[in-house]
């Protein structure tokens, strides 16, 4: 087969190399080259199973694991992926592939074993809920001192998030297949370090920064997955936050209130953080470049307005 895709783009969160993805596919027998800004991969003789180490300087690669896992299901022989990502989304993908006829064991662990099969079959499969969207709505309840009931929210994949929220002063109680999130007291300061799963997810770093900007004291956030993922710091400071960036660390001195301002979204999760900050700020906040947020949240204003938010989308 043959595939041709453009080099990575998307959110402005710093360097996003795909070298581990490509290394894994090369180990399986793909021939890969760069051609006019595109990555071209070919495997005219098919792929063959192999033992592959997918660790990188900042830990495991989630999408790299997904790409190699999918390719290995149809490779000849056995593939062993060491240092595989353990995120719930990878386990869910593996379960889906198994339902389609793949033979994958070690699901949920950093060692996946795949026995190649000749073909996969169509199936119906319900994917797990989006834990990052759920975490964003949890912060929405916390930053506004409100209460939200979240349905289809699996807390077992969000223990690091729940731990930090409870430490900050937010109550989270299981309710059916979801939970009830509320805050009535002050926002306590907290220290957060992003890590691969089951650690604190980098995709909730910006949202928690907005929350801690209103904390009673000093907080520290250390970004260990994407050390340059701090484009939202300057925008939150425009809203009267008191944030100081020092390399991969942001020191947060809590303020009593945020002020509405015109801000610019730089990436998907920063967009959500600015919306959350706007919910808690005095006055009107205008978030520009909201096309970023639409890639991860389906009409977020239609989800938040029914529970008390005042968000309107305007074309400029």
- Give Cβ neighbours of residue 188 (< 8 Å, ≥ 6 apart): 167, 168, 169, 215, 216, 217
pLDDT band at 15 (very low <50, low <70, confident <90, very high): low
Kindly report, residue by residue over 89-109, the tens digit of the pLDDT.
999 999 999 999 999 999 999
Whole-number Å distance between alpha carbons of 52 and 150: 39
Task: Identify the weakest region by mean pLDDT among 5-19, 161-175, 261-275.
Answer: 5-19
Does 151 score more than 50 pLDDT?
Answer: yes
Whole-number Å distance between alpha carbons of 185 and 103: 50
Place of tokens 């581990």: 20
pLDDT band at 292 (very low <50, low <70, confident <90, very high): confident
Whole-number Å distance between alpha carbons of 229 and 22: 23
Residue 110, judged by CB atoms within 10 A of its CB (0-12, 13-18, 19+), counts as middle
- Domain 131-307 maps to which CATH number in 3.20.20.30, 3.65.10.10, 3.20.20.70, 3.30.565.10? 3.65.10.10
Its CATH class, for the domain covering 2-115, is alpha beta
Percent pLDDT > 90 in the chain is: 85
* Strand arrangement, sheet containing 38-42: 2-6, 38-42, 31-35
Q: What's this model's pTM, rounded to 2 decimal places?
A: 0.92
Whole-number Å distance between alpha carbons of 186 and 3: 53
Question: What is residue 220's three-state secondary structure?
Answer: strand
- Give Cβ neighbours of residue 299 (< 8 Å, ≥ 6 apart): none
Q: Which two tokens stand for residue 129?
A: 């809920």
Count of residues making up the chain: 316
Residues designated catalytic:
11
Whole-number Å distance between alpha carbons of 255 and 86: 37
Q: Where are the domains of the chain?
A: 2-115, 131-307
At residue 135's C-alpha, the angle toward residues 187 and 257, to 5°, is 30
Q: Which two tokens stand for residue 94?
A: 């593996």
Does 170 score more than 70 pLDDT?
Answer: yes
Does 179 score more than 60 pLDDT?
Answer: yes
Q: Which two tokens stand for residue 100?
A: 């389609």
Once rounded to an integer, what is the mean pLDDT over residues 273-282? 98
pLDDT band at 13 (very low <50, low <70, confident <90, very high): very low
pLDDT band at 158 (very low <50, low <70, confident <90, very high): very high
DSSP 41: E
Task: Give, for 218, the enclosing helix (H) or strand (E).
Answer: strand 218-222
Does 9 score more than 70 pLDDT?
Answer: no
Kindly report, residue by residue over 48-64, the tens digit of the pLDDT.
999 999 988 878 899 99
pLDDT band at 153 (very low <50, low <70, confident <90, very high): very high
Task: Identify the weakest region by mean pLDDT among 11-20, 28-37, 213-222, 237-246.
Answer: 11-20
- Regarding predicted confidence, which is higher, 296 or 82? 82
Q: Strand pairing of 243-246 and 2-6?
A: unpaired
DSSP 155: G
Does 164 score more than 70 pLDDT?
Answer: yes
What is the residue-averaged pLDDT of the chain? 94
Topology alike, domains 2-115 and 131-307: yes
pLDDT band at 1 (very low <50, low <70, confident <90, very high): confident
Percent pLDDT > 70 in the chain is: 97
Task: Give, for 105, the enclosing helix (H) or strand (E).
Answer: strand 103-105
């Amino acid at each position: 087969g043959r595939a041709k895709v453009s080099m990575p783009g998307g959110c402005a969160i710093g360097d996003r190399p795909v070298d581990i993805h490509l290394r894994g596919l090369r180990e399986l027998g793909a021939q890969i080259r760069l051609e006019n800004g595109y990555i071209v991969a070919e495997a005219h003789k098919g792929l063959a199973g192999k033992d592959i180490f997918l660790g990188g300087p900042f830990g495991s690669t989630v999408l790299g694991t997904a790409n190699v896992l999918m390719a290995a299901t149809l490779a000849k022989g056995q593939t062993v992926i060491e240092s595989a990502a353990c995120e719930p989304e990878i386990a869910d993908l593996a379960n889906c592939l198994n339902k389609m006829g793949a033979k994958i064991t070690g699901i949920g662990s950093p060692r996946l074993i795949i026995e190649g099969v000749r073909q996969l079959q169509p199936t119906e499969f319900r994917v797990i809920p989006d834990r990052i969207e759920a975490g964003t709505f949890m912060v929405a309840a916390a930053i506004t001192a409100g209460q939200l009931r979240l349905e289809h929210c699996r807390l077992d994949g969000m223990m690091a998030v729940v731990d930090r929220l409870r430490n900050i002063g937010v109550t989270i109680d299981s309710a059916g297949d979801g939970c009830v999130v509320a805050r009535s007291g002050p926002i306590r300061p907290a220290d957060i370090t992003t890590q691969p799963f089951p650690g604190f997810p980098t995709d909730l770093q910006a949202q928690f920064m907005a929350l801690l900007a209103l904390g009673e004291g000093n907080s520290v956030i250390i970004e260990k997955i994407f050390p340059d993922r701090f484009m939202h710091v300057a925008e939150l400071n425009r809203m009267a936050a008191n944030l100081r960036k020092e390399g991969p660390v942001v020191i947060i001195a809590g303020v009593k209130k945020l002020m509405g301002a015109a801000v610019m979204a730089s990436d998907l999760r920063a967009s959500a953080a600015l919306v959350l900050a706007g919910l808690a700020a005095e006055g009107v906040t205008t978030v520009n470049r909201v096309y970023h947020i639409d890639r991860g949240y389906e009409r977020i204003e239609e989800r938040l307005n029914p529970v008390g938010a005042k968000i309107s989308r305007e074309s400029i």
